[in-house]
Amino acid sequence: MMETRIQVRFGELSTKGRNKKRFIQKLAQNIRGAMPEYDQIKVKYDHDFIFIDLNGADEVGVREKLKDVFGIQSFSPIYIIERDLELAKSVIIDLVKEMEPSGKTFKIATRRADHSYEHDTNWLNAELGAVVLDAIPDIAVEVKKPDIRVRVDVKKEHFFISTKTYQGAGGLPVGTSGRGVVMLSGGIDSPVAAYLALKRGVEIEAVHFHSPPYTSPQALQKAKDLTAKVTRFGGSIQFIEVPFTEIQEAIKEHVPEGYLMTVTRRMMLRLTDAIREKRNALAIFNGESLGQVASQTMESMIAINDVTNTPIIRPVATMDKQEIIEISQQIDTFDLSIQPFEDCCTIFAPTAPKTKPRLEKARYYESRLDVEGLIDRAMANLVITHIKPDYTTDVQEELDFSDLL
């Protein structure tokens, strides 16, 4: 009988000092939560590693899920067999053969946890190495930098054998950096910002502004679908819809063309901050990239950021569009993001927004609005949807759509 256990290394966590235990516990919990379909697995941990006993769960499937869990540096499957030398030899040969060993170098690295075992590590390395050399043509021993490292641990009743190490996603376990709200539009950039927030351990909630009937139900659905895509990296996300129609109409009526965009963004930020406070979150994330469009100049940031002291983190601020696109392709949001549904900003977008708005003017034009009343009414009508990793548009929602078309 062969059992499989996956050994997980956590990298950056090792430096977390007193918080280390909390981090490890959170990571173990996130691993468990990332693969609900494999309910037979057991996740355990000690000070140095997390171990996943597969108990018959599909190893390839579990490895695929593990690749998306933040806080993991690398992981290795370990095959656990009875302490039978002949069995160990055949298992090692099979494992090395799987690694397309022709023309490669290898090393056997034995460790004895049980020192009472009859053979010492030198003897075992030589004996097991000879078997590999015999069984596999065109392979050579290399002690310093082997292509294939076969680790054999001698335990009281078992051999633990391992040959492969897989790269993890890096980052920090989601939930260990506190909670943030992400301003999530239907575009390319903000889902990438959401992903990068999760990568640094931030538990996120998504805030989305929509302005029916100027924006379509499909645009709203697209934002929800994008949120669902991102749950792959951190589990369920609360999706908070903000009704923005009244505010956009008021702005359109009272604010001159050149400042529409700046005032719109100020109102969005105020609302996001009010939601952040209500949801006990610490920071706001958005998908702004410096210089990409008029609202994303530093002058604009000054004019918009004026409404709050809350930290605003812009994970893609310094990236080129192409770099952002590459990440969106990796995380599988790109194809959805480029679907052509107008969001609330494009509909009311002025033809020539100011790229260098002045703070005083933005404040002045905004004072023509009943800011407090507008905010209160929007806040009273938030709609929250709990989006789980298995989220799909349900039939009811689809029916509602066709009614509106």
User: Residues in the site for ligand ATP, rule: CB under 6 A?
Assistant: 183-185, 187-190, 207-209, 286-288, 292-293, 295, 343-345
Helices (DSSP H) in 99-146: which residue ranges? 121-135
Q: Minimum Å distance from CB 345 to Mg ion?
A: 6
Cα of 155 vs its chain's centroid, Å: 37
Q: Which among ligand ATP, Mg ion, none contacts residue 72 (Cβ within 5 to 8 A by kind)?
A: none
Nearest to 315 by CA among 188, 170, 195: 195
Residue closer to Mg ion, measured from CB, 70 or 209: 209
What span, in angstroms and rounded, lies between the C-alpha atoms of 225 and 339? Answer: 12
Residue closer to Mg ion, measured from CB, 73 or 292: 292
What span, in angstroms and rounded, lies between the C-alpha atoms of 260 and 291? Answer: 18
- Which two tokens mark 156? 């009281």
Give rounded-to-5 percent helix, strand, coil for the chain.
45, 20, 35
Residue closer to ligand ATP, measured from CB, 208 or 276: 208
φ, ψ at 360 (rounded to 5°): -60, -40
Q: Minimum Å distance from CB 293 to Mg ion?
A: 8
Q: Minimum Å distance from CB 137 to Mg ion?
A: 58
Residue closer to Mg ion, measured from CB, 66 or 345: 345
Residue closer to ligand ATP, measured from CB, 173 or 217: 217
Residue type for position 12: E
Q: How many CB atoms lie within 10 A of CB 338?
A: 12
CB burial of 32-57 (b: ≥16 within 10 Å; e: otherwise) equals: bbbbeebeebebebeeeebbbbbeeb
Instruction: Provide the 3-class DSSP secondary structure of residue 223.
Output: helix
Q: Which among Mg ion, ligand ATP, none contacts residue 226 (Cβ within 5 to 8 A by kind)?
A: none
Residue closer to ligand ATP, measured from CB, 74 or 308: 308
Query: Which residues would be at the binding site for Mg ion (CB under 5 A)?
Result: 185, 187
Q: Residue 314 annotated as binding?
A: no
Q: Minimum Å distance from CB 171 to Mg ion?
A: 25
Q: Minimum Å distance from CB 177 to ligand ATP?
A: 19
Q: Which among ligand ATP, Mg ion, none contacts residue 287 (Cβ within 5 to 8 A by kind)?
A: ligand ATP
Dihedral sign for Cα 279, 283, 289, 293, please.
Answer: positive
Element (H, E) at 166: strand 166-170
Q: Residue 287 annotated as binding?
A: yes
Q: Minimum Å distance from CB 401 to Mg ion?
A: 22
Residue closer to ligand ATP, measured from CB, 245 or 292: 292
Nearest to 288 by CA among 196, 351, 215: 196
Q: Which among Mg ion, ligand ATP, none contacts residue 209 (Cβ within 5 to 8 A by kind)?
A: ligand ATP
Q: Residue 265 annotated as binding?
A: yes
Q: Minimum Å distance from CB 303 to Mg ion?
A: 18
Q: Residue 184 annotated as binding?
A: yes
Q: Indicate the residue whose CB is closest to Mg ion.
A: 187
Residues in the annotated binding site for ATP: 183-184, 208-209, 265, 287, 296
Annotated binding site: 183-184, 208-209, 265, 287, 296
